[in-house]
Amino acid sequence: MATAQLSTLALTFFAGDRASTAGIATTAFNPLARPGELVVVLARGDTSSLSGKLANKLAVEHFTEAVLDVGIAAAPVDAAASEAAQSFGSVVHKPRAVALLEAGFERANQQIYAFGHKLAAGGTLATSIIALAISQGELAAARVGTGDVKFRRDGEDSWLFEAPDPASTTASKLTAGAFNGTVLVGAHRQLPVEFLNLEIIADDMIELYAAASDVAAYASWRITIGPATVFLDEVFRR
């Protein structure tokens, strides 16, 4: 596992001329309050219904709470604890970035599913989530639904996930907890999540999109890896 600390994570929230923030909920934060650590989550639900907007809000809130709980457990409280914190994740044989995202998706799904069934709205209170975590020199990305991550290195762009069927990315087609068959967070008790992770280096650029089939439709996040030293110690909410 890579343990190198990244010294800069330059974070930008951007939108094109026709991009919208109406159908998404998002946040970015540093779960360990240390340089080189970052989590970004973006939820996109059915904007035509109140349940879709509520699912977006619940997804981001519970995802963030779960990641912060894991981050607090991993953060060193003194010099003696630092070494143990650096190895967090190896205990369960997975990178810390992956462990953070797993915790977020698990709790978001549990809470939305439970809340939806309390309201007798099971299966319709659901949303799509795309998220990434940077920790210990590694990037982990995960999604349920329609989002994707564009990764740029040495001037070459690549999409990290296989794009879903364009027909399945239209939020108005939400039925029974799916975008035309694409399972969403909160729709079912068990949740299949797509994960990937890779090492990152200076000058890499990562962009997070809510809809892979129409990247200009929604506001997005851009993270650039650079050489300076910056603390991302503020939670950004929208």
For residue 231, the model assigns a pLDDT of 39
* 180 found inside a domain: yes
Mean pLDDT, rounded, of the chain? 76
Give residue-wise pLDDT tens across range 172-199.
343 444 444 468 898 888 888 999 999 9
The confidence score (pLDDT) of residue 123 equals 54
What would the two tokens of residue 102 be?
A: 């797993």
Confidence of residue 146 (pLDDT cuts 50, 70, 90): confident
Neighbours of 34 (CB within 10 A): 18
Backbone region of residue 137 per phi and psi (left: phi > 0; alpha: psi in -120 to 50; beta: other values) = left
Residue 48 is assigned to a structural domain of this protein: yes
Residue 192 lies in a domain: yes
The pLDDT score that the predictor gives to residue 234 is: 40
Would you state the pLDDT for residue 227?
Answer: 61
b vs e for 189-202, b when ≥16 Cβ sit within 10 Å of the residue's Cβ?
Answer: eebebeeebeebee
CATH number at residue 108: 3.60.40.10
Highest mean pLDDT among 61-75, 131-145, 164-178: 131-145
CA 55, 75, 191, 115 torsion-angle sign: negative
Number of domains making up the chain: 1
pLDDT of residue 132: 95
Band (228; pLDDT cuts 50, 70, 90): very low
Mean pLDDT value of segment 205-211: 88
Classify residue 138: in a domain, yes or no: yes
Q: Do the domain assignments include residue 1?
A: no
Q: What are the C-alpha distances in Å from 76 to residues 33, 34, 70, 84, 158?
A: 10, 10, 12, 8, 35
How do residues 73-90 score in pLDDT, each as one tens digit?
A: 765 544 344 444 444 444
24-43: average pLDDT: 90
Give domain status of residue 47, yes or no: yes
Amino acid at 50: L
Instruction: With respect to residue 49, please indicate whether it lies within any of the assigned structural domains.
Output: yes
Tell me the residue range of the domain where 53 lies. 8-237
